[in-house]
Structure 1
Amino acid sequence: MVLEEISTSLIMWFSCALIPCLLIDAVAVLPAPQNLSVQSTNMKHVLTWSPVVVPEEIIHYSVEYQGEYESLYMSHIWIPSSWCSPTAGPECDITDDITATVPYNLRVRAVLGSQTSAWSTLKQPFNQNSTILTPPGMEVTQDGFHLVIKLEDLGPQFEYFVAYWRKESGAEEHVKMVMNGGVPVHLETMEPGSAYCVKAQTFVKAIGRHSAFSQAECVKVQDAQTWHFLTHHLVECGASPTCVTWGETLPLALALFAFVGFTLILVVVPLSVWKMGRLLRHACCPVVVLPDTLKITSSPQKLISCRREEVEVCAMAGLSSKELLGVFI
């Protein structure tokens, strides 16, 4: 009886001692990401999940995938995603990882320093043939009598079917395949005065699916009389030297303004430089005018020679006796 009580006490003591440790370990375990899903539109695939929140910490994530080949022939190995091992946000673009139209398993786990959570796996394998295909954007224009379309470029996997028809009852609908988007494509030569409508859809050969058609867009070409007037007017203007169209007037005006501006530059710039030079020369070396008394009106050499002749004449002239007597008196 005593031994039984002692054993019971020891069991209770060990239980009380271990339970807090287990609770602490449970709290320390990093939670796994939840709510995995794939959003796929026009062959762009993005895996998303609910973020793991740890106060004052930045959580990173690792993403791995497993295709049919890895599952059947490579012992179920998992391959890290090309762009998301690791990644900081709760999403991963897996478009480059999905290379075949087969089921893919996807999984993600949280990483915090040396801690990692358990893996969370997508509930249902993802297959790219489930992608949502949307109608392409398009721009319908006319170039003279030519019907032209430019389609949105959705990538190299996409081809386009373009349907066009004359807008009238009983008109036949024509379909043309366009291999690439982003470039103008000529559809048909239109008849004057008629309206034409166009719509388009995408087709992805890899999955054998196409999108719905886009909303039809219509354009109307000018009628024959208006077109004849315009072409006749242009021909006359081309033959007559006195006829100037609006398209010719603008270039002529621009050329005239450019010529006038260039001429002004050629005239104004040299004059400005010359005037500035004169101002600087006057400021640094001002002109000083001598008084009239200091001006030399004759040659200095001539003045010296004249003074010399006067001295010699005075030295050679003699005085008479009467002059000498007059001097003393």
Structure 2
Amino acid sequence: MLQTDSMWRCVCALVLTFPAYSTAVSGVLNSPTNVQLTSTNMDLVLKWDPPAGAPRDLVYTTELILRKPLMDSKPGCVNTSALQCDLTHLVVSIYGRYTGRVKAQLGAQSSAWASSDDFLLDKQTSIGPPNVSLYSNGAKLEVSITDPVFVHSSLREIYYYATYNITYWKKDRMKELKHISGLQQNRVVLHSLDPSTEYCVQVQIIASTAQKPSTPSIVHCARTPSEKEPPWVAVVVALFILAGVLTLVVFVVRHWRSLSHFLCPKYAIPEHFKESLLAPPKSSLYLVMQTSQPVEEFSDQISVVMCSRTEEDGSKKPAEEKR
């Protein structure tokens, strides 16, 4: 009986260890699982899960296969320990159909390739949230929207028709949502809002050929100003200003003489200053100019000789003119 029990134990141990032994002998590893291509704003990333019971020093190698418009494959990450690989730099067409694949490696051992499903980049990429700014403009709120930045091209170049959906509500009444759909302009004014009330706004992009809308934007909130002042307040303010101006004019007219003496005082010049200013200059040059005689001018007589033609022989006949 003891020999029989020991024999069965040996058989069971051999059966349990046979798969691991056969795997080590064959040098074949299990392939990665849950392989998928993901994309946000036109990038391209391959992700996967490690094989069951994978050792810590397991590494991976990836490839990107372009299936449409042309069949081509390009190597991606090599001997990486991460569980994802950025393949954005390998994208050759934003309208292409791609497949990613990955295999596990441990020394000389290598698993079979594990492939993802086909991925249409322009249709399946996730569009990120738009950037939104909210401004208070009188009794209205102005919403400013900016498209997310794409890795390849831009949103408007890839999706010829893209619109905005705006959702807004009073901050304390989230169940009472209001929507504005199909907007193409990136600046929108929200009208008919209650004064002195805080409103919140969220925006989402709907692209023409994308399979799903964009991620909603961050919620932005702003308060509308208080009720506008009634028209009579402006009339009263204008009357006060006019009364002030009239009072100032009357004061200036009644006290003009005093103001003129204050602003433009009259000062008498001392006598010795007057004598020094009216006295003739004592400069030697000035005295010489006053006493000198006019300079006599001389001129010489100049004779000017002019020639004229005769009608018969065409010879020149001098003519003299004196000046």
Q: Same fold by TM-score, threshold 0.5 exceeded?
A: no
Q: Which has the higher strand share?
A: 2
Which TM-score band applies after superposition, normalised by the shorter structure?
0.3 to 0.5
Which structure's residues are more often helix, by fraction? 1
TM-score calculated relative to the size of structure 1: 0.43
TM score, norm. by length of structure 2: 0.44
